[in-house]
Structures are given as C-alpha cells and as structure tokens.
Structure 1
Amino acid sequence: MKKIKEIFRMGLWEDNPVFGQILGICSALAVTNLMLNSLIMGIGLIFVTGLSSFTISLIRKFTPKHIRMMIQVLIISAYVIIVDIFLKAYYPEMSKALGPYVGLIITNCIIMGRAEAFAQKNTPLISLVDGIASGLGYTVVLLMISFFRELLGFGTLFGMAVLPESITRWTIMVMPPAAFFLLAMIIWGANVLQNKKEAEKDKGKGKEVAKA
C-alpha cells in the first residue's frame, strides 16, 4: 500500500510526465482548447499506459532484449487501436475533434518511457498502477491548461456557459500560443514549489545534523 501511494505521488507530482519529465508536450498543446477534449484524451492515455505497462511487465521475462522495443510498440499500438475504434463507434464527434492525436498516442514518449523505465523491471500489478499514475499526472496538467483556455476563450467549462456574454472573450486563449504560455507557467510554478520543498528538507536536515 505504501509503495502504491509513493507511485501515485511520483506520477502526479514529483515525477509528473509533463512538468517533471517534459514528455507528451505535443498532445498537451494540441487538444487543450476544450476541457472535454482534454478529459477524453487523458482517459485514453491512462487506458493505454496502464494496460500496456501491465502487458509488457507480464511478458518481460519471455521478451528477447534485442526486439523488446518492437514488441512494446506492437502492444501499445494494439491498445491505441482499441481506443480509436471505441471513439469512432460510440463517440464519433469526439473522434473527429481529436483527429490524428488519438492515433499519435502510439508515439507518446510517456508510454514508452514507463515501459522501459518501470514495466521492464517490476511486477505486472505495480506496473499497471505506475501506468495509471503517469496517465493521471498527464491528464491533470491537460485539464489545468484547458480550464483556463476554455473559460477565458469561450466562457464555458465542459461546454456549459459559465461567464456572462458581457465579459470579453480572450481570443488568444483559443489559439495555439496560449497553450505554450500556460504550460510554461505550470512548469515554472511546479519547479518553484518543488525547489522550495527541497530547500525546506535540506534546512531541516541541517538542523538535525547541528543538534547531533
């Protein structure tokens, strides 16, 4: 239980795939104009990352090292196809809105990164948890960006009107550059908080050494 909490803490905060590892930036910038788009993209990535990590870990002892990355891509692509087919069958409007970015989940560095760094070295269930945690960390950042873009750009949240018509909409928030600015601010804020926390830890250790 303690290890699971640690994995979620790392995935959501300390080793967040977006502002911690700077991975998955392309899709983070491309689909964040609306919160619903970001949520669906995030759920898709959680599904693919979690199950691909689980599957890769399950067969890790039987996978020849010289072809392991080919097998990993094959497993990841199979789960991405499932997500793509599901959206086209049950949510065609969202499938059109996300466009090619669902298929490009295959190339998302977050998934390959967790497969190589974690799933290849750990048990299936723990790898599943790690994949889910990394996917959640990615989704949280997407929702943070899309919250401000949709609210200020369209005056809505999840398609529901929130701001009155009298308030001027920020056209720049609808445009791609807004995602760059917001992501940069999130990365900066996260680094400031993490550095502050580390400084407090170092200060606490220094006091303990001085007392000793």
Structure 2
Amino acid sequence: MSQAMDSIDVVVDLLKNNPEIAALGFNTYKPRPARQTCGQLEELRETIFHHVPNDQLLIPRSSLDREGILRLCAELSPGSRLALRSEIQVSGAPKFIPMIDFICEKSEANLRLLSSQLGHLHRIDGFNTGGGVLLETDNSYHYQARRLLPLDKWTSFIGHVLLLHPPAEHRELAHRTGALSVIDVRWAGHVLIGGGGALRISQNFDGKFPRVVKQVAA
C-alpha cells in the first residue's frame, strides 16, 4: 500500500485481507455542534453522557468496491457523516476491526509517538492484527488494523488502547509535546458500552477524505 491511500482505499484493502467478510456495517450520523463552554452543572452532565444518535447500514461485500463506497458518501444527507463499524459477523460469531480514535494534535512528533506506541501494541502476544494504518483527519488521527480480532482479543485490545493515555507522572511532558490527551477516551468508553465502535470514513470539513500518513508494521 502507498501513502497516497485514503479512508476508502483502507476499507477496500480490509476486504481484500479478510475474504471471510460477507458484509460491513456503517453508521450515518450528524456531529453534535461543539460548545466552547459549559455554564451549568446540568449542562456539563448532559454533555458528558451524550451519545450521538446514528442510523445503521449493513452493506454486502459485493457493493463495497471503491465506487460503491464513494456512492454511499455521496448519498448522505447534508451535514451527515459515514462511519465504518468495528463489529462484523463472521459465520455467526462476532469479530472486530481493531480501530482507535486519537485526539492529540497533528504533528510529526506525535505521529512518531503514535507509531511507536502502536508498534508496541502489535507486539503484544495474541494481537495478530497484521499491522495497520494511521489516517490524518480534521484535527487528529485515526488508526485501523488490517485483520479482525475475536471478541476476547478485541476487548483486551481496547483495554490496552486505554493504556496509551499518558500516565499522571508524565503529564507535564505530554502537555509540552501537545500529547496530553492521546486517545479519545470518551470514544473508547462508548465502544465498551456499545460492544463496538465506529470511525468516520467520509470527507473531512475540507472536502477531502482522511488520508493515510503512516503504515504501522505488524
């Protein structure tokens, strides 16, 4: 794969690497407008436990070439986004696409940090993810692996993802490097609550698709 790939190519590549996938699940949703401040405790509580509602689609493999996925994106209603769901049914059993939503600032230093952390994650016994890719989004990065994990391995994977968050004793260094918050811990929380996650594959606000900026070896 080349670094000219975008999020659509990554989905197509996932299907090539996993011929057992018969269909993929997607969410369509409208992002909640960002708020600069939370003036009242009740408003803060509402924000903390808010979950963006979504509609779910199940699309057969035969419709998921690049042109088919682009057509799904083009058919979205104004302001809507398309996200790939992590859970996949394979022969009646759930399997999962390992994915991570990062929240750190975009920089060469943070890209090296994430690549190093993901390399360590790949070396953990039992996570046979086949490596993966880091994609640049509007404000940070997404990660998607190439191979599926069964439920027990995926649950452990998400637990290890939470450990990528900088420990308290390194908060000062993390703050100086713009990596005080590395992963989107709220995303990880929703993943565990919902039994699966999703990451956007449709266009950024600039009209371009998230693009691959780093290959992560297995």
Q: Same fold (TM over 0.5)?
A: no
Query: Which structure carries more relative contact order (alpha carbon 8 Å, separation 6+)?
Result: 1
- Select the structure of larger CA radius of gyration: 1
